[in-house]
Amino acid sequence: GKSGYEHYMLKEIHEQPRALRQCLRGRVDELSGTVDIGDLGDLSPTGVQFVACGTSYHAALHGAQLFREAGIPSQAFLASEYATATPPIGDALVVGVTQSGETADTLSALRAARRRGARTLAVTNVVGSTAARECDHALYIRAGPEIGVAATKTFASQLAALNLLALGTSSTGDARQVISALRDLPGHVQEILDESAAQEIAEIYQDADAYFFIGRGYHEPVALEGALKMKEITYKHAEGFAAGELKHGPLALVTENTPVFAIVTGDDERARKTVGNVKEVEARDAPVVAITDGQSDVSRYADHVLELPETHPRAAAVLANIHLQLVSYHTAALLGRNIDKPRNLAKSVTVE
């Protein structure tokens, strides 16, 4: 049941600390600062191609960034495109990211890769799913069953699992910092669940014409995910962009009735550039909601702040998404939408 929550989606949003703990349990050794993902640790890929759809594609974008940062060429593909125009694979490992393990587009992409002799890995939530059975390897995200059509806890768990995969099969300079950020993640998620101002934001902007989401680096896939969740459950227009792309077209859509959610953490060059993009938006009188750890001066240009703790940017991406899930959820609730079963959508899409 819904354990007292009004919707499965809200219950599942609140299950994220536990889902993340389950994903990390036994796989992270905090003392030695190492990751143990069993046999998968021997994969040592020289290249990685991710295939996925929807929310899982956003997780795949995160995964591809992780491997590129470790010096391993990597790219995320929409499964529906990959299946019909399979790119050269070489000796890349092909990773299907799929919560259900039953998404037709993703299964087709994985089959196309296998026909070309590629090794395949399923990153999935469902033990015994078609993707898990058909791939050479499986990495389970262990989020527990997800009933709401909107993917919430499984996205957080996918990001955590992909971090384990990258840490376990490659080496990066800041592995220790990432592991410590992962260890802190469930507690940080709980703080956001307890303290987020998302409901107030939803109340203020429930009548907006459209919602825009921007971010750079690890925050770009979260911007895309924020928009997908918003349109899926509120039926309102929402778009996510890499922050730098706003001025190349979408800025024409920005008005005083289109709140812009900007994810900005740290105070490096990336953050400063996103703050620059926020100033452009503010100059056009659009309301700005900054999702920030307060290290940059973005809040000076923002109408509202959704607070994040200071942590590794990879973990901050998971945390920023929690605020955005809550904004979408509360907006949909205020609009009286059928949150757990949005119109026209199915939990797992078994047709191409």
- The footprint of ligand M6R (CB under 6 A) covers 53-56, 98-100, 103, 106, 149-151, 228, 232, 348-349
User: How many other β-carbons are positioned within 10 Å of the β-carbon of residue 172?
Assistant: 15
CA nearest neighbour of 319 among 124, 182, 202, 210:
182
User: Closest residue (Cβ) to ligand M6R?
Assistant: 54
Q: Are 193 and 174 in contact (CB under 8 A)?
A: no
Of 206 and 348, nearer to ligand M6R (C-beta) is: 348
Question: What does the H/E/C string look like for 222-256?
Answer: HHHHHHHHHHHHHCCCEEEEEHHHHHHCHHHHCCC
Could you tell me the smallest distance in angstroms from the CB atom of residue 30 to ligand M6R?
29
Could you tell me the smallest distance in angstroms from the CB atom of residue 110 to ligand M6R?
11
How open is the CA angle 287-275-291, to the nearest 5 degrees?
Answer: 60
Question: How far is C-alpha 68 from the geometric centre of its chain's CA atoms?
Answer: 17
Query: Does residue 168 sit in helix, strand or coil?
Result: helix
User: Which helix (H) or strand (E) element contains residue 97?
Assistant: strand 93-98
Could you tell me the smallest distance in angstroms from the CB atom of residue 54 to ligand M6R?
2
Of 65 and 154, nearer to ligand M6R (C-beta) is: 154
Of 13 and 228, nearer to ligand M6R (C-beta) is: 228
Instruction: Write the CA distances from 269 to 170, 197, 212, 232, 275, integer angstroms.
Output: 26, 28, 22, 33, 10
